[in-house]
Amino acid sequence: MHLPDNSQSIIGQYGAWAAGLRGDPPALSLRANRNKKLATWRKEATAKALELVAKPALGPLPKVTVERKYTYDGVEIEELSWQLPYGRPTQAILLKPEGSNKKLPAILGLHDHGGNKYFGKDKITRTSDAQHPLMEAHQAHYYEGRAWANEVAKRGYVVLVPDTFTFGSRRVHYEDVSGIPWGTLKDSDRQDVDIRTPEEIAAYNDWAADHEHVMSKSLFCAGTTWPGVTLAEDQMALTILSQRPGVDSQRLGCMGLSGGGLRTVYLGGLDARIKCAVPVGFMSTWNDFLLHKAYTHTWMIYTPLLPNFFEFPEILGLRVPLPTLVLNNNQDQLYTLSEMKKSDEILREVYQIAGADDAYQAKFYDGEHKFDAAMQADAFAWFDRWLM
């Protein structure tokens, strides 16, 4: 890649050099392996991606506990929990249309990051009229005031929304790192129970943002990656969803905005059980992150060495020819529009090579980072087309 003389990158004059280190197309891109049989290429490429993401083993399926069951606004809700081999129990919300008595397609709802680790599943669900005011504001800002998991459940889907690693019930508590001279806690004995007010939640989220650097470095030292841990947890949740009563395990999808879109890229690309994938507000190229936008994003993205083998959208492209819809916003401040368009071109070419043009679509909407009602309508229609 050549940068014009007046171009800038977030790593200064090192940008053009760094961007030129990778092959174009990368080594295991389908675009570089057009003459291979699709199944042969996918097997080789998926194996390399899984090797590099280095997801940890989670052991057997954990016992799932139904903490509470009730109905709200036309949706039957179950509050679930399960214990993984590490950390606090995962809490999750299961939603399905009220009164359904047949097997339904199911969607794993992947909540966003949003710089807000205090909350997880609550970002895209609603379980009563008494909603936390911060979540009411969150949904108003990103989702046009809608709990999209509820809305798609009403449409005829079973939807599972779990807290993921370091969010909500899975977050790192202050007391977990008490006595360690790091960050804002070095002069404090604060406890998680001290977090109550919006100001205290904001302070926690600021601390958790800084702690991402520590967590990611520690995961690398453990021989895994943040995408690997998140993938493992999302795959466990997908297995749990597939085995819930009333779920057709042959009709599974996943979707999410932002951090949830990122999770959709990895899960949709690396788990063939996902028959329909819709990442929202998370699609660009490695060069966009490298040169322009890495500072706007979470450590949840990065798998060392993976860019040598796949362009970022080609992680999702590993699922070809399975149906994929990518939703973008033209003024999304987290990406460069030209690189979002390039990602669309790459994925479109991947699907064309595989002879599956009809199974891929990308849409661009005016506005900043969001998943508004119009985008939700298009996403729901895509699921209806392929899963209903």
Gap between the Cα atoms of 159 and 242, Å rounded: 10
Give the pLDDT of residue 286.
97
67 or 296: whose pLDDT is higher? 67
The residue whose two tokens read 């993921």 is 164
Average the pLDDT over 219-237 and give the result.
98
Is 206 within 8 Å of 228 (Cβ atoms)?
no
Gap between the Cα atoms of 157 and 108, Å rounded: 10
Task: Please indicate, yes or no, if residue 158 is contained in any of the structural domains.
Answer: yes
Is 36 within 8 Å of 42 (Cβ atoms)?
no
Per-residue pLDDT of 232-269, as tens digits, reads 999 999 999 999 999 999 999 999 999 999 999 999 99
Confidence of residue 161 (pLDDT cuts 50, 70, 90): very high
Task: Please indicate, yes or no, if residue 11 is contained in any of the structural domains.
Answer: no
What phi, psi does 192 have (nearest 5°)? -60, -30
Gap between the Cα atoms of 377 and 50, Å rounded: 33
Give the pLDDT of residue 7.
67
Task: Please indicate, yes or no, if residue 2 is contained in any of the structural domains.
Answer: no
Task: Please indicate, yes or no, if residue 98 is contained in any of the structural domains.
Answer: yes
Give the pLDDT of residue 195.
86
Examine the pLDDT at 2 and tell me if it is beyond 60: no
Q: How big is the chain by its Cα radius of gyration, in Å?
A: 20
CATH classification of the domain holding 234: 3.40.50.1820
Confidence of residue 189 (pLDDT cuts 50, 70, 90): low
Task: Please indicate, yes or no, if residue 239 is contained in any of the structural domains.
Answer: yes
Q: Give the structural domain span for 91.
A: 24-388
Task: Please indicate, yes or no, if residue 232 is contained in any of the structural domains.
Answer: yes
Examine the pLDDT at 6 and tell me if it is beyond 50: no
Is 275 within 8 Å of 322 (Cβ atoms)?
yes
Cβ within 8 Å of residue 174, ≥6 positions away: 185, 188, 190, 191, 192, 194, 195, 204, 207
Task: Please indicate, yes or no, if residue 16 is contained in any of the structural domains.
Answer: no
Confidence of residue 196 (pLDDT cuts 50, 70, 90): confident
Here the tokens at position 81 are 């929990």
User: What stretch of H or E contains 200?
Assistant: helix 198-221
Mean pLDDT estimate for the chain: 94
Number of domains composing the chain: 1
Q: Which of 78-87, 140-149, 194-203 has the lowest mean pLDDT?
A: 194-203
Examine the pLDDT at 200 and tell me if it is beyond 70: yes
Task: Please indicate, yes or no, if residue 126 is contained in any of the structural domains.
Answer: yes
Give the pLDDT of residue 246.
96
